[in-house]
Amino acid sequence: MNDKSYHHGDLAQELRLVAADLIAERGAGGFSLREVARRAGVSHAAPTHHFGDATGLLTAVAIDALRHLHAAVTNAAEGIDDPRRRLVAMGRAYVEASAAHPGHCAVAFRHDLVNETDPSYLEAADAAHGVFFATVAEIAETTAEPLDVGTATSLGWATMQGLVELYSNMEEIGERHGQGSPPPIGTVAEQFAEIIVKGFG
Amino acid sequence: MNDKSYHHGDLAQELRLVAADLIAERGAGGFSLREVARRAGVSHAAPTHHFGDATGLLTAVAIDALRHLHAAVTNAAEGIDDPRRRLVAMGRAYVEASAAHPGHCAVAFRHDLVNETDPSYLEAADAAHGVFFATVAEIAETTAEPLDVGTATSLGWATMQGLVELYSNMEEIGERHGQGSPPPIGTVAEQFAEIIVKGFG
DNA sequence: GATCGGTCTTGCCAGTGTCAAGATACTGTG
DNA sequence: CACAGTATCTTGACACTGGCAAGACCGATC
């Protein structure tokens, strides 16, 4: 229970950080357990003890990603009374947090690399989802026609995650069509969110 | 220029198909050049000659993915005059094509695995994007307030791609909240698209 | 029929994930 | 304080991977 144990203060924590750095640097495909161990200054098998296998470590990184997203979105929501304006701010915060933690968020929803049935993962995903859900539910009370809150929440989530995934492609296509680069990703997120909120009715 | 060459009729084509099958089966993380070669019945270095390296083969698979998406969306659009109804049908077709070609579409936008500067890739992406753009442009002529066509197109694209990525998570969260499973992915796509089109004004 | 370029194979290397076994440091108990 | 036990980490091994170099083979061209 002591904070400092053995060689490192907290090797498990350090491994998660180093892994996220490595993914940010080389992409999820360039990730390697042994390189993580090397950068952390431990032997190649040390991560196994804490995380079982590569999937275990990547799952831990994904959980950290979800917590970062959750924290950023919650923080952005604070103090905004109008639920529509709040949802727009949350969308912006979501994509900006993804950009601020590229290593973490690059693996957050990678079904082939992460064990998405891990209880901690599900819990973290629930928490992040819940923040959006609550705000959409508030909006739903103000719409002319009834709005399915679950569907509407999923829509917002999918849009923001899709934007994170495709923003670089959008830049490329914008320039190829001579439309110039799109605005910063946070601004795009706001534009998207405003159209969606309008579509809620 | 003959159709049949050497051992196989068209090894490059066969390798792309086998690679897509393998990714569909094991996920993008389970992909392996040597396993692809094994399944195609050739030596482990045969793919190198056609695609250079693993990125080359995966880029080819991604290009096939974009072409599948393009074809499916174009096909779905045919014969629908109302651009709003057409866009909804295209959204459905997009996600259903992704579900029908999971191996291809799992790598279509994976910046760490695919060379997205490949001219053929850019061309295929342009083509798919263009179909959406044209329909959104038609819609934009009917809106009360002016609609930025580029932004609106990107919104639709991001939403559909995000849905493809997150649908399994949505299923999980829906069941955990006792809301039951969401509808089939094509139906969700329609629901999303209808809200978005409404938001276009 | 010899030559030659395109196609594929064989062999090799460093690097990887995972497992088993051992060494080391911390912890609690007498 | 001694000693045993456990969590932590290391070492060593294995099969596997991607990429390279060298060679073998086929098919067509002169």
- Residue A2 in any domain: the answer is no
- Residue A113 in any domain: the answer is yes
Residue A161 belongs to what domain range?
11-199
CA distance A76 to A15: 29
Which residues in chain B show pLDDT less than 50? 1-5
- Residue B40 in any domain: the answer is no
- Residue B9 in any domain: the answer is no
The pLDDT value recorded for residue A180 is 86
Chain C bases near protein CB atoms (7 A cut-off) = 7-12, 15-21, 25-28
CA distance B8 to B33: 18
Specify the number of domains making up chain A.
1
- Residue B91 in any domain: the answer is yes
- Residue B57 in any domain: the answer is no
Residue A179 confidence class, pLDDT cut points 50, 70, 90: confident
DSSP letter for A3, please: S
- CA distances, B63 to each of A83, B5, B37, B60, B174 (Å): 41, 23, 20, 5, 33
Closest protein CA to C1' of nucleotide C20, residue: A45
CA distance A176 to B47: 31
Chain D bases near protein CB atoms (7 A cut-off) = 7-13, 16-22, 26-28
- Residue A128 in any domain: the answer is yes
Collapsing DSSP to helix, strand or coil, B6 comes out as: coil
For the segment A9-29, what is each residue's pLDDT rounded down to a tens digit? Answer: 788 999 999 999 999 999 999
- Residue B39 in any domain: the answer is no
C-beta separation of B68 from B104 below 8 A: yes
The pLDDT value recorded for residue A3 is 36
- CA distances, A89 to each of A135, A153, B148 (Å): 11, 15, 21
Strand D contacted by B49 CB (< 7 A):
no
The pLDDT value recorded for residue A190 is 98
Residue A7 confidence class, pLDDT cut points 50, 70, 90: low
Q: State the CATH number of the domain containing residue B153.
A: 1.10.357.10
DSSP letter for B146, please: -
Give the CA-to-C1' distance from B161 to C9 in angstroms.
41
